[in-house]
Homo-oligomer: A and B are copies of this chain.
Amino acid sequence: MPEEVITTIKREFENNERSHMSIIEISHRSKKFQHIITSAEQKLRQLMQIPDDYAVVFLQGGGSMQFEMMPLNLATKQRNIAVLDSGNFSKKAEEAARQVGKNTAILDSTKDQHYQKLPVVPSNFNASVFDYLHIVTNSTIEGAAFHQNNLPQTTGRLIADMSSNILAEPYNISDFDAVFAGGQKNLGPAGVTVAIIKKDWLADQDLTGVGPMMRYQNHIDKQSMYNTSPVFSIYALDLVLAWVLDQGGVTEMYRRNLEKSGKLYAYLDQSNFYTAPVEKSARSITNIVFTTGDIQRDKVIAQQAEAAGLFNLAGHRSVGGFRASLYNAQPTDAVDALIAFLQKVEQNA
């Protein structure tokens, strides 16, 4: 979270307390909250240049709930979805789609290459037998990303899980039919999830057996207040969006993230001690994955980094190694400090 946002929450918490109505006490039916949620939607539309024919909704349950809602709402014709497996979260989405009764096909997987390359759409891909193709734009754990310039091409519908790099780099929303993102990386605190969906696609589905809370249309019709909204999380989201706008929008976030990740990758690539194993064209600018090649040594170094008050450097427990997460709120100074630390470790090795 940006420090300015934390400070604002603190200040407003005090003000609200004086009026005996803290942000966590206001009703989701109050005018104050309706103003907040409307403002959050407008800001997100502005930041991502979301066209009017896309709906924007704020939901609960994180990206994991979207792994179920997307197929339940949008895979009702072929009941069949295609997946490019670029990491842990593609696999989870595929499994969830199967559990809710859809067929799935993994078109390509780079699992055998430890997800250090991006999977590709096969040349014989027949989009018409699938309701959509599901991709994860940024693999949080493994560190590979589909950037706007290397998005998979399909003649069919495309859904993107942008949970870990929404607002970190520019994407053209028109290239997707639906996009979703859990809030806890670049959007605000945990507890709110964003879904952006082409309206005409939603309108044309058979939702027999799908419960009211699992139907996007119900939430859209009630402007994300179909039931009690997660008030505090949406309030914090609105502040984060205001901060991103104020800083210069996605263009400026992208510039900073390129700068931050560029510095770190440049250092890692010239080092004989560390390796950043993800293929250059596929490298995430948000989650930078690297290793000394010795998982046990990596662990010790990550503990030293944490003790020094630096990044939480430990790679995800499923892969080990290092992972530096350069979300929007992470300042360049922190990356400089990290590089200095890594250099020192290298010199003493």
A contacts, CB < 8 Å to B: 1, 6-7, 9-10, 13-14, 17, 22, 24-25, 27-28, 60-65, 67-68, 72, 95-96, 99-101, 182, 184, 188-191, 209-214, 226-233, 236, 312
Q: With CB as the reference atom, state the residue of chain B lying closest to A68.
A: B211
Contacts A64-B213, A191-B230 aside, 8 further interface pairs with beta carbons under 8 A come to A1-B22, A60-B61, A61-B213, A64-B226, A99-B210, A100-B209, A184-B228, A190-B232
Q: A60-B60, A236-B24 are in contact. Are A230 and B230 (CB under 8 A)?
A: yes
Q: A9-B24, A62-B227, A227-B62 are in contact. Are A67 and B191 (CB under 8 A)?
A: no
User: Closest CB-CB distance, A8 to chain B, in whole Å?
Assistant: 11
Cα-based distance from A228 to B14 in the complex (angstroms)? 28
Q: A61-B61, A191-B230, A230-B191 are in contact. Are A17 and B13 (CB under 8 A)?
A: no
Q: Assess whether A182 is in contact with B63, with CB atoms less than 8 Å apart.
A: no
Q: A191-B191, A213-B68, A228-B190 are in contact. Are A13 and B9 (CB under 8 A)?
A: yes
Q: Assess whether B7 is in contact with A17, with CB atoms less than 8 Å apart.
A: yes
List, in ascending order, chain B residues with CB within 8 A of A182's CB. Answer: 228
Q: Assess whether B96 is in contact with A211, with CB atoms less than 8 Å apart.
A: yes
Specify which of A22, A60, A68, A236 lies most central, judged by the most chain B CB atoms within 10 Å of its CB: A60
Oligomer: number of copies: 2
Q: Assess whether A231 is in contact with B189, with CB atoms less than 8 Å apart.
A: yes
Q: A22-B6, A190-B231, A232-B190 are in contact. Are A100 and B211 (CB under 8 A)?
A: yes
Q: A60-B60, A228-B182 are in contact. Are A213 and B65 (CB under 8 A)?
A: yes
Specify which of A25, A189, A229, A312 lies most central, judged by the most chain B CB atoms within 10 Å of its CB: A189
List, in ascending order, chain B residues with CB within 8 A of A233's CB. Answer: 191, 230, 232-233
List, in ascending order, chain B residues with CB within 8 A of A1's CB. Answer: 22, 24-25
Q: With CB as the reference atom, state the residue of chain B lying closest to A1.
A: B25
Specify which of A14, A210, A233 lies most central, judged by the most chain B CB atoms within 10 Å of its CB: A233
Q: List 28 A-B contacts (CB under 8 A).
A: A1-B24, A6-B13, A6-B22, A6-B25, A10-B10, A24-B188, A24-B236, A28-B190, A60-B60, A60-B191, A60-B230, A61-B227, A62-B227, A63-B227, A64-B212, A64-B226, A65-B227, A95-B212, A96-B211, A96-B212, A99-B209, A100-B210, A100-B211, A190-B228, A190-B230, A191-B191, A191-B232, A230-B233
List, in ascending order, chain B residues with CB within 8 A of A14's CB. Answer: 10
User: Closest CB-CB distance, A13 to chain B, in whole Å?
Assistant: 5
List, in ascending order, chain B residues with CB within 8 A of A7's CB. Answer: 17
Choose from B22, B67, B189 the contact partner of A24 (Cβ within 8 Å).
B189
Q: With CB as the reference atom, state the residue of chain B lying closest to A218.
A: B64
List, in ascending order, chain B residues with CB within 8 A of A68's CB. Answer: 211-214
User: Closest CB-CB distance, A304 to chain B, in whole Å?
Assistant: 18
List, in ascending order, chain B residues with CB within 8 A of A62's CB. Answer: 60, 227-228
